[in-house]
Structure 1
Amino acid sequence: MSIYDFKTKIQIAKGWSGDKKYCVTTSDGKKYLLRISKIEQLERKSVEFEMMQCVEALGVPMCKPIAFGTCDEGVYSLQSWIEGKDFEEVLMMLTDTEQYAYGIEAGQILKHIHTISAPDTQEEWEVRFNRKIERKIQMYKDCPIKYDNGQSFIDYINTNRYLLKSRPQCYQHGDYHVGNMMIDYDGKLQIIDFDRDDFGDPWEEFNRIVWSAQKSPLFASGMVNGYFHEKVPMDFWRLLALYISSNTISSIPWAIPFGRSEIDTMINQAKEVLEWYDNMQNPVPTWYKGYI
């Protein structure tokens, strides 16, 4: 299938990805998602496409990889089109029971994705993530804008770094939260946007649960419980608090180039995270509803 043969091509403006995204239609009316990246990303995007094929082979409900190659504009990836709605838009119209049930499903899907092992050549997680921590702490210290009580995040990280030792690694979606999910017209949860995929500690994948918990504590609780079959280890909560602390301190330097609105979003989010964790004194966040 040539990407030049499509009858219609409509650009999609949503999302933070650097890719250009289009809804394209063939002459017989079949829709696809077309993503185009810069040619410099050829190797990265080739690996991403191959890993999506591995995930699809597991039976994960997702945008299915169809074709990959280069074109005049750069690197293209053609994926199946999901007829449905953004899960974020639907979530708050669901009952409490439904929100929790979809959370369980999202956790089980994630557990499935994590059965893909990291390559043997992968650098030891403790070494790699500690390097990331150092960079993020320095970015925060150099940042002209600080959080109220932001030092709590740094203190928590430094106290709990030892938990990074000997952590296993696997394939990660890289941005797993309600904003990267859809509900198809059969009511089935679908996972989209694998463009931040990586290899790392499976538990680090939960660092984006902040976005899900802000929308629906029941969904976020279900996701954790579904992943762990309702047996959540305390070390998970301790490590998750470390990963969320690490993310939060780097969010404010990240937001500055995008302007005041994004800065305010991150300041408010940091305030909410500190409330959830009692200023990082309690590793189990207050949004967690236990087993329902």
Structure 2
Amino acid sequence: MKPEYLQQIPIAQKGGQIKELTKGFSSDKKYVIDDQYLLRLFPKKDKQERQIEYDTISRLNELSAYVPKTFEFGTLDSADMSYMILSYLPGQDGEVALKDITQIEQYDAGFLAGKELKKLHHLNAPEGTPNWYNHKKHKSDSYLKRLKNVPLDEHIKSLLKNYIRLHEHLLIERPNTFQHDDFHPANLLIHERTLSGIIDFQRMDWGDPIHDLTKLGFFSVKASVPFTIGIVDGYHDDIGGVTDSFWELYTLYSAMHIVSALVWGGPLGIYEKMLRYSLDVIVDHDEFSQLVPKWYID
């Protein structure tokens, strides 16, 4: 039985088959309509920022066919909800699907994901977007301050703080472009053994495009090392290969991400998991004496 508020949305009203989606961390209510449309509903109070997300997705679809198309944005006043309707992209998320394809297929899918992400980074930030150095350094300083209260070995705290302080100058004059800000296998779809879509733009932001690759060593390698290597290689395909300057920024952002993950891990009840992942990244970079992570070169 369709929820009553769906009767107020023409596409849903006409839809023959409507299935609710419950997977994922988003608080949106999500429905698939006739395997063609994805309906996302959210509180009306979030309408303004979600309109920006919707408009950005529309512009990103012009850059990559792996981004959903946009169809409708509206409000259900009676339900105090707003909604967007996007095209429904087929496939399973990479965390589930990658284990069922070969390592060569994993690499190829990652390579394509990296190439498509690079296309999305051609979308420049709106005029008036804060300077990346000031924005990122302010957040990093705040997290480093809060790291003092995290029950973590003092050697690791010093290691992270010293590395970040020594290299944060790399943030100066970095470009401001679109950031997906949650780019990892759970938000990348696999269908018929290859990449079929990039989804979940709710955390989108603006800043250094390289920052979008921050979570590769944290989450993506856990799903598939070949896929993760493919992302890095595909992202750099148009310039002939991975550069040292990329790894310098990537490693700095990895250190910063560890700090934020450990700070937030406690309140979210996942500190032990974040600590394990963080220690893996530290080992991969040989306590930040090595720029290129072991998973890429081994």
- The match for 1:281 is 289
Return the match for 2:152 from 146, 157, 179. Answer: 146
- The match for 1:244 is 254
For 1:171, what is the secondary structure of its paired residue?
A: strand
- The match for 2:221 is 213
Once the two structures are TM-superposed, the CA of residue 51 in structure 1 deviates from its matched residue by 0.4
- The number of residue pairs the alignment matches comes to 283
Structure (1/2) with the larger helix percentage: 2
For 2:156, what is the secondary structure of its paired residue?
A: coil
Once the two structures are TM-superposed, the CA of residue 253 in structure 1 deviates from its matched residue by 2.6
Higher deviation after alignment, 269-278 or 53-62? 53-62
Unpaired segments of 5 or more residues in structure 1?
Answer: none
Once the two structures are TM-superposed, the CA of residue 18 in structure 1 deviates from its matched residue by 2.8
Return the match for 2:71 from 59, 66, 75. Answer: 66
Letter in 2 for 1:118: A
Higher deviation after alignment, 268-277 or 66-75? 66-75
RMSD: 2.0
Higher deviation after alignment, 184-193 or 226-235? 184-193
Q: Distance in 1 between matches of 2:49 and 2:230?
A: 33
- The match for 1:16 is 25
- % identity of equivalent residues: 30
Return the match for 1:47 from 38, 42, 52. Answer: 52
For 1:33, what is the secondary structure of its paired residue?
A: strand
Contact 1:107 1:223 in 2 (8 A): yes
Contact 1:106 1:189 in 2 (8 A): no
Q: Deviations over 1:236-255 (max 9, x none)?
A: 11111111111111112322
Q: Deviations over 1:79-117 (max 9, x none)?
A: 112232222212122222212111111110011001111
For 1:176, what is the secondary structure of its paired residue?
A: coil
Letter in 2 for 1:54: R
Question: Where in structure 2 are the equivalents of 1:1-292 lying within 5 Å?
Answer: 2=10, 5=13, 6=15, 9-23=18-32, 25=33, 29-71=34-76, 72-143=79-150, 145-146=151-152, 149-185=156-192, 187-210=194-217, 211-229=219-237, 230-259=240-269, 262-289=270-297
Contact 1:218 1:289 in 2 (8 A): no
Letter in 1 for 2:26: S
Higher deviation after alignment, 224-233 or 1-10? 1-10
TM-score, normalization by structure 1? 0.90
Contact 1:102 1:219 in 2 (8 A): yes
Once the two structures are TM-superposed, the CA of residue 179 in structure 1 deviates from its matched residue by 0.9
Q: Deviations over 1:116-136 (max 9, x none)?
A: 111231221111111011111
Contact 1:60 1:112 in 2 (8 A): no
Q: Distance in 2 between matches of 1:224 and 1:142?
A: 34
Contact 1:221 1:289 in 2 (8 A): no
- Flag the 1:206–1:190 CA change in 2: closer, same or farther, 3 A: same
